[in-house]
Chains A and B, each alone.
Chain A
Amino acid sequence: MRINNSNSIDSSKVIKFYFNGKIYTAFEGDTIASSLISNGIFFTSRSIKYHRPRGVYSHSFEEPNSLFEVNSDETYEPNVLSTRENIYEGMKIKTINSWPSLNYDFFSFLTLLSNFLKAGFYYKTFFGSNYLWKNFFEPFLRKMAGFSKAPNKIDKFKYSKKHIKCDVLIVGCGPSGIAAALSLYKSNLKILMVDDDSSPGIKLNEPNEKEWFINTKKELGDKVEIYTNTTVFGAYADNYLTAVERINEKNNRNKLKTRLLLIRAKKVIFANGSIERPIVFPNNDRPGIFLSHSSTYYLNKFGVLLGKKFILFTNNDFAYADILNLQKNGSEIIAVIDVRQNLDGYLPKLAEAKGIKILKGFVISNTFGKKKIKSISVTSLANNRSYNLSCDCLLVSGGFSPSIHLHSQQGGDISYNHDICGFIPDKFINHQICIGSLVGKNSFIDCVESGINGGNYILNEFGFKGYLKPDLSEFKAIKYGKVIPFWAVDTNAKLESKSFVDLQNDTTIADIKVANLEGFRNPEHVKRYTLNGFGTDQGKTSGIISLGIISKEINQPIEKLKPTTYRSPFIPVTFGVLAGRQIRELSDPIRRTALNKCHEKLSAVFENVGQWKRPWFYPKVNEKIDQAIFRECLSVRNSVGILDASTLGKIMISGKDSLTLLNKVYTNNFSNLGIGKIKYGLLLKEDGMVFDDGTTTKLSENRYLMTTTTSNAALVLDWLEEWLQTEWTNLDVFLTSVTDHWAVITVSGPKSRHVISKLNPSISLDSEDFPFMSYRQVNLAGIACRVFRISFTGELSYEINIPWPNATYIWNKLLDAGSEYNITPYGTETMHVLRAEKGYPIIGQDTDGTINPIELGMGKLLSNKKDFLGKRSLSREFKSDKYFVGFKTIDPNLIIPEGAQIISLDRVLNNDKENLDNLLINGSLESEGYITSSYFSPILDHSIALGFLNSGKEKINTDEIFYATGDNNELIRTKIVSPVFYDEKGLRKDG
């Protein structure tokens, strides 16, 4: 019910919105929660497990109940927190956990079973049969319980990020935060303030307090930058804090929804206050039951009253301010139920003087009202006598728990404070302080003083003098009575299963007791067993109460227990805002080679290789992938093919100690490499495992060009730099990445020599003048190129390095020159098939970081004349004798799946073929090896595969039949051969 119009809403702007299909109105500035309450809607949701009626419970991020699906014409948002989302024209709000409708919910019978459905019930009951769980219980439970459906369309909202550096960050703009800013603002320090609410200070009731707050904020003016509607959700090392700023819909043409603030502050002042907690009692979850402070919030901010006839249930004096505020605004106060017998504070006395009935030493023993609270039953603690009171709104206050989340996220210590019955920060993190109600200050004047002192302390840290000593004598310090620790009302076992500790997860006192009974005594374990503290609210209202209940149950003082670990994010944060603008094409850089346009023109299908886009194959019209690869493979073998190999890593190594470096890192000896000669080399990590391979060319004295695999290009450079800078600091070597300085075109096939010579007929390309594994600086079609005679196909090949800008020109020249030989562009797939036919391993495909060079069949490359990285690791004893071999299937058309396991013949026959998976998993059938590469070879017209096999070296070319596990438990018979399937003598490399 709205009784007046406050500053925070614009009553000239009426907004129409829909709730569960019905149209309602609210004003601009309203939240979803205030809009619903002002329309008299209290029953808004169903609870997650028992489908009990629930309503808005609070006013801020602690809200456990009222989460909705929100739709507009083109957007959909799941699990929207009603207390933190502004209403807008045409907004469609829908309840999430009810079917077919909120009022007539199919599953509401579950509440009758709450006595049986305690924590652990589902696990114990449904995990008996895998089949039933998968096919029946899980789908059923998922329909019954849960949050909104995940969106399945593209998010139409936009998100952004902002990096901010400041001298002082003040988290929280309440009285203490503002007071701290007052101490600081004349210093010319860059001060940033952040508050979760859109109207900080709105909960202040006393006119002089309100006035001080408004005037002080005015005085700060533009000396202090204030972000409202912004929640700090993460605090990390070195004062790095992350906040999410909710952009107000009304000045928002770009659909910018939220913005991520990434803040680095020299000093941080946490003034983020405390969160009111309830007291647990039977049926404490009915719509119409609110946290006490929320009544002040909705009244002051939106002019909305939560009811007409109020009852307050409390254990502290602070909640009396709320009830007095309500009375001042004309509400009827039925009674205050105070668990304390003796009330000596100022506010209870004032309330009594104003005619409010206070039931001292009473508790609420039950509540009534099906879809909205109607009456309560109160019981005297002294004589156990009960009677009923009717009301339409019940406020609850169990004291305030400091919001230690951000302090604790960084590992800050906390301790239990008996004055406020809550945990407060103990030792502050370096360059941070905590002030205000976060450290247990509760009255306005205490908070302001705490803020002033905190600000002065920070000034001192920056080396400033002249502290602020404001006159605060107008604020009289009033006496507050002691808060007594009171977490839950004692009741019988039946009502314990209706006494809700965590409203969002339907965790009851009964659940926590079951957990304790079953041995889960640590709060972390209780949390996981009962779900208390999970969900979107992360136990903001329930956490400390559960500790209180556990403490009583296991008979340990609460200060000996630790709240469950606080982790970022403090509030739910969408993926959208974390991603910001780094989505789709901006999510990761895309690297394209100089020849990209040429490939597109040839209708290449691309594949991602790291960040690179590489042509996978070049289909002709109506050609399928297999046909294209077949054609490309045969063209290279029979005539000539052309490949873009620009992505190959290329590192220039220069300086007088270049050779020393090469000899230290490569397994083989580079000392005898002449100018213009090329050598294949293997790089190992110190653990002796193969890290990368490639060729290195001696361009001139002290100048070498090293190539790496595409995927390891950056890693190899990093690794070499690390050795040079941290270990071999005396070496005179310079490394330069030239990967995208030189485009690489490989021309491969028996006709390649003819094609190249057409681009410069004056050079001699025959194998005597330009032998295999040598390099020439050659002028091709007028461009100075580097030509390397190396081969990854086994055919006569020329790898041409061309200055990046000239690559397209040379590519086209080569296509022209090769047209009479039907020169065929081929992609990475054909490249893989051709190299597999030759048994060349691909590092990262055939190896996985656990393969040493001996297993890879490259023992010959290990020099015994010098040390090299990883050598010592190879001289220990090895248990494994697996070896890189070829697999030739008995049926030439069966292709073994990559990753298949190899099983020996006898063992398969002695075992159950049907149960192959189980046999392999439970270890009764051991794998003898595995397949790392597998293809159909067009030139051999036969399936081929590469992989590792135990004692593989001895099995090559024997008659022994092995079985490879195919798809659907099919077994593929195969023989073991040399990994070199084609041209074993290597005659074709010279054309």
Chain B
Amino acid sequence: MLFIKCPYCGERDESEFHYGGEADISRPEEPSKLKDIEWGNYLFMKKNTKGIFSEIWSHSSGCRKWFRVDRNTVTNDIIRVYEINK
């Protein structure tokens, strides 16, 4: 079980958190102008990085804040934890 340092609350067990998947997926500004394939890519195509991966987590049983985590998906080492808009 990961030991995650919430940027607002400090180190807590993974069971207090909720995983949000890949970071940096922005909702398109004007979805109606996208082709089906482009919209499909936004919806479904997620990276499956081996190595350092930037993802979002929410401290759902704590402060309920979403934040970013850079994690090595091979070793599970957490390299960096930071606020969502930084």
Q: A interface vs B, CB < 8 Å?
A: 236-240, 264, 429-430, 686-687, 718, 721-722, 725-727, 729, 867, 871-873, 875-876
Sorting the interface of chain B by its residue count into under 10, 10 to 19, 20 to 34 or 35 or more gives 20 to 34
**Distance to closest chain A CB from B65 (angstroms):** 7
**Distance to closest chain A CB from B52 (angstroms):** 14
Residue of A nearest to B77 (CB): A430
Among B1, B26, B75, the residue within 8 A (CB) of A727 is: B26
Residue of B nearest to A871 (CB): B31
Q: B interface vs A, CB < 8 Å?
A: 1-3, 13-14, 18, 20, 26-27, 30-32, 34, 36, 39, 43, 56, 58, 60, 64-66, 75-77, 84-85
Are A872 and B31 interface neighbours, CB within 8 A? yes
Residue of A nearest to B68 (CB): A726
Among B39, B58, B76, the residue within 8 A (CB) of A722 is: B58
**Distance to closest chain A CB from B20 (angstroms):** 7
**Distance to closest chain B CB from A875 (angstroms):** 7
Residue of B nearest to A410 (CB): B76
Q: Are A725 and B31 CB-contacts (below 8 A) given A430-B75, A687-B43, A872-B39?
A: no
Are B1 and A873 interface neighbours, CB within 8 A? no
Q: Which residues of chain B have C-beta atoms less than 8 A from A876's C-beta?
A: 36, 39
Q: Which residues of chain B have C-beta atoms less than 8 A from A729's C-beta?
A: 84-85
Q: Which residues of chain B have C-beta atoms less than 8 A from A239's C-beta?
A: 3
Q: Which residues of chain B have C-beta atoms less than 8 A from A721's C-beta?
A: 58, 64, 66
Q: Are A237 and B85 CB-contacts (below 8 A) given A686-B43, A718-B18, A873-B43?
A: no
Q: Which residues of chain A have C-beta atoms less than 8 A from B58's C-beta?
A: 718, 721-722, 725
Among B20, B34, B60, B85, the residue within 8 A (CB) of A872 is: B34
Q: Which residues of chain B have C-beta atoms less than 8 A from A726's C-beta?
A: 20, 56, 66, 84
A872 CA to B32 CA in the complex, in Å? 6
Q: Which residues of chain A have C-beta atoms less than 8 A from B43's C-beta?
A: 686-687, 873
**9 shortest interchain CB distances as A-B pairs:** A872-B31, A238-B3, A725-B66, A237-B76, A240-B1, A872-B39, A876-B36, A236-B1, A237-B2
A726 CA to B18 CA in the complex, in Å? 14
A729 CA to B86 CA in the complex, in Å? 12
Are B3 and A867 interface neighbours, CB within 8 A? no
**Distance to closest chain B CB from A736 (angstroms):** 11
A871 CA to B32 CA in the complex, in Å? 8
Q: Which residues of chain A have C-beta atoms less than 8 A from B60's C-beta?
A: 718
A240 CA to B2 CA in the complex, in Å? 8
A630 CA to B22 CA in the complex, in Å? 52
Q: Which residues of chain A have C-beta atoms less than 8 A from B85's C-beta?
A: 729
- Name 16 A/B residue pairs within 8 A (Cβ), A-sorted: A237-B14, A238-B76, A239-B3, A264-B3, A430-B77, A687-B43, A718-B18, A722-B58, A722-B66, A729-B84, A729-B85, A867-B32, A871-B31, A872-B31, A872-B32, A872-B34
Q: Which residues of chain B have C-beta atoms less than 8 A from A686's C-beta?
A: 27, 43
Residue of B nearest to A721 (CB): B64
Q: Are A727 and B27 CB-contacts (below 8 A) given A237-B2, A687-B43, A873-B39?
A: yes
A707 CA to B66 CA in the complex, in Å? 24
Among B2, B32, B36, B65, the residue within 8 A (CB) of A238 is: B2
**Distance to closest chain A CB from B2 (angstroms):** 5
**Distance to closest chain A CB from B84 (angstroms):** 6
A875 CA to B58 CA in the complex, in Å? 32
Q: Which residues of chain B have C-beta atoms less than 8 A from A727's C-beta?
A: 26-27
Q: Are A725 and B65 CB-contacts (below 8 A) given A687-B43, A873-B43?
A: yes
Q: Which residues of chain A have C-beta atoms less than 8 A from B66's C-beta?
A: 721-722, 725-726
Q: Which residues of chain B have C-beta atoms less than 8 A from A237's C-beta?
A: 1-3, 14, 76
A264 CA to B1 CA in the complex, in Å? 9
A240 CA to B4 CA in the complex, in Å? 12
Q: Are A722 and B32 CB-contacts (below 8 A) given A237-B76, A238-B1?
A: no
**Distance to closest chain B CB from A627 (angstroms):** 45
**Distance to closest chain B CB from A632 (angstroms):** 38
Q: Which residues of chain A have C-beta atoms less than 8 A from B77's C-beta?
A: 430
Q: Which residues of chain A have C-beta atoms less than 8 A from B64's C-beta?
A: 721
Q: Which residues of chain A have C-beta atoms less than 8 A from B36's C-beta?
A: 876
Q: Which residues of chain A have C-beta atoms less than 8 A from B34's C-beta?
A: 872
Q: Which residues of chain A have C-beta atoms less than 8 A from B13's C-beta?
A: 240, 264
A729 CA to B58 CA in the complex, in Å? 15
**Distance to closest chain A CB from B10 (angstroms):** 13
Residue of A nearest to B78 (CB): A238
**Distance to closest chain A CB from B19 (angstroms):** 12
Are A240 and B84 interface neighbours, CB within 8 A? no
Residue of B nearest to A730 (CB): B85
A26 CA to B56 CA in the complex, in Å? 59
**Distance to closest chain B CB from A806 (angstroms):** 29
**Distance to closest chain B CB from A472 (angstroms):** 35
A967 CA to B60 CA in the complex, in Å? 44
A978 CA to B65 CA in the complex, in Å? 45
Residue of A nearest to B3 (CB): A238
**Distance to closest chain B CB from A167 (angstroms):** 14
Q: Which residues of chain A have C-beta atoms less than 8 A from B3's C-beta?
A: 237-240, 264
Q: Which residues of chain B have C-beta atoms less than 8 A from A873's C-beta?
A: 39, 43
**Distance to closest chain A CB from B30 (angstroms):** 8
